Structure 1
Amino acid sequence: MVQGQPIIDVTLDGIETRKNTRFQDKQLGALKLPVYSGDDDISGVIEVRMNKQKKIEHLGIRVELIGRIEILNDQKQSSDFMSMSRELEPQGFLFEDKTYKFQFQKFEKQYESYYGNTVRLRYYLKVYMVRSYGKVQKEVDFAVLIPQPELEEQPQTSLKLEVGIEECLHIDFEYFKSRYHLRDVVTGKVNFYLVKIKIKYMELAVIRKEQYGQGPQQQTDNETLVKYELMDGCPQKGEVIPIRLYLSGVDVTPSVKNVSGKFSVKYILNLILVDEDDRRYFKQQEITIYRKK
């Protein structure tokens, strides 16, 4: 009878009382991960079970804490931005199930976890036993969230833009803020000064733009997260249409720029006018989204 491989289990300390967060990953589906931030340590217990074997020869057992950026459709561009390692057992033999305690104190939390369409920034523990013919390993993911109180404290500026088609259309619109927290409300107004085309409706969309790669190899993935109708029917000259869009129901994350030289995540407000001939007129404006303390 062929014996099975040893089994590795990892139990994190304090997991019952630790806050969780959810991510929707394109490949892995819905994820619910424990959250670490600030000066949090990560610690726990690792159990290596013999799985009906009497003796296991190995070349060492280790635990690693890894921060990794994965470019999902080009693994050559993926890389670790952080790695810490602890030896649990030097080369030798196991004759019975063993448990090991581990701790990584106040590990560096440089970037926030991110699970996108083309990019994944993940933190995970990897426990592995090296054997002469390969590895037995177990990975456990967790999340790092980073509040940005400095963005909350800075004074806000409004964003004003104009859309014009000579002698046919002249509007301007204003968003009252340029920075929004994850559960904020986008507010503003649209002023119609000249309307000589028959507008069918107007809508506001939130677009997430993932950019990865460098220089000529840079690629962009655009995803429309939500579309919200601001107006149905043709406006009159002088009409003012209010803008109010709640971000709490939209799958937004903090904006990030050039993370470890690998990727950026931007958010765009796209104001769209559609006329009776289904021609579309639009104006895009980047906004900053941040995590409140």
Structure 2
Amino acid sequence: MSLFFKVPLDIEVRLDGEDSRETVEVKSAKGRKEKLPVYKDGETVKGQVSVRLKDNKRVEHLGIKVQLLGSIETKVDGIKNDEFLSMAHELASPGDLRHPETYHFEFRNVEKQYESYRGKNVRLRYYIKVTLGRKSADVIRERELWVFQKNQLPLGATKPDASIKMDVGIEDCLHIEFEYSRNRFSLKDVIVGRIYFLLVRLKIKHMELSLIRRESCGAPPNQVNDSETLVRFEIMDGAPVRGETIPIRLFLGGFDLTPTYRDVNKKFSTRTFLSLVLIDEDARRYFKQSEIFLYRE
């Protein structure tokens, strides 16, 4: 939000039905939590803009407009802002404001082709922007929306009944097989699998299972990749024996996950990996990663 408080007026944006609308809690750039109203693809966005004068002072303006914008902000080689959605309505022609005014706006059946996202180097956002033109400096007020895309399976996902196997091995020392039932999951799904020890000649101290989100931003050779461990937990403590099996059940619903995104507007992608890590008594680490595909039901 941007508002020049030296100007003797306040601007407020209210959305129709916002008191009863579903909201989502997200972290701002400063780490604070904020609640944003949730909208769907194709849904109309409408509401009111209220302009209130301070101290009953007359305000001259160059016009008032409201916009519905969708943009992708990236931090590669400086902050860049690319708009993929731009709609606008004029609320008032140039003139004077002598008393409080309320203006209604409506953007009908808006196509919202991407899902809102906040990552380390990327922010995809939808927002209402009100601009009151001034000769000195415009007065601007923004109101952010949050968009979910439901029932969209990620590109490249294999059949949901295809089991996935990972092998962790060192010749003549270690051979572990990690199997889970499929590689495509909803954000509230359960990952079910097992770890089977075929050969153990190392002194394994413990084993961890992690979910890692990898964000890719920009295009080669200037592409920036960042990895974030979303959850890590210990699944074994102590030395296993040959033939031992450890069952795995990982409930995804309690974690801050995002769907798999593939080359969104040719700006960024996100991928999620299941990582198996073994640590021996000498603190040496052996690991294997496999990508899983996440989607929102």
User: Shared topology, TM-score over 0.5?
Assistant: yes
Matched, 1:112 2:118: no
CA distance in 2, matches of 1:100, 1:279: 65
Given the alignment, which residue of 211, 235, 259 partners 1:254?
259
Matched, 1:97 2:93: no
Q: May I ask how many residue pairs the two structures share in their alignment?
A: 291
CA distance in 2, matches of 1:23, 1:218: 26
User: Which moved further from structure 2: 153-162 or 259-268?
Assistant: 153-162
1:76-225 correspondence runs (5 A): 76-148=79-151, 155-225=160-230
Deviation of 1:56 (Å): 1.7
Q: Unpaired segments of 5 or more residues in structure 1?
A: none
Amino acid at match of 2:18: I
CA shift in 2, pair 1:272/1:190, >3 Å: same
Report what 1:10 is aligned to.
13
Report what 2:49 is aligned to.
46
Q: Structure 1: which 4+ aligned runs deviate by more than 6 Å? A: none
Given the alignment, which residue of 61, 69, 72 partners 2:72?
69
8 Å contact from structure 2 (residues 43, 111) kept in 1: no
CA distance in 2, matches of 1:43, 1:31: 21
Report what 2:39 is aligned to.
36
Cα RMSD of the aligned pairs, angstroms, is 1.9
CA distance in 2, matches of 1:136, 1:282: 54
Deviation of 1:25 (Å): 3.5
CA distance in 1, matches of 2:153, 2:274: 23
CA distance in 2, matches of 1:28, 1:73: 21
User: Which moved further from structure 2: 26-35 or 54-63?
Assistant: 26-35
TM-score, with structure 1 as normaliser: 0.94
User: Which moved further from structure 2: 52-61 or 173-182?
Assistant: 52-61
CA distance in 2, matches of 1:282, 1:37: 39
Deviation of 1:250 (Å): 1.2
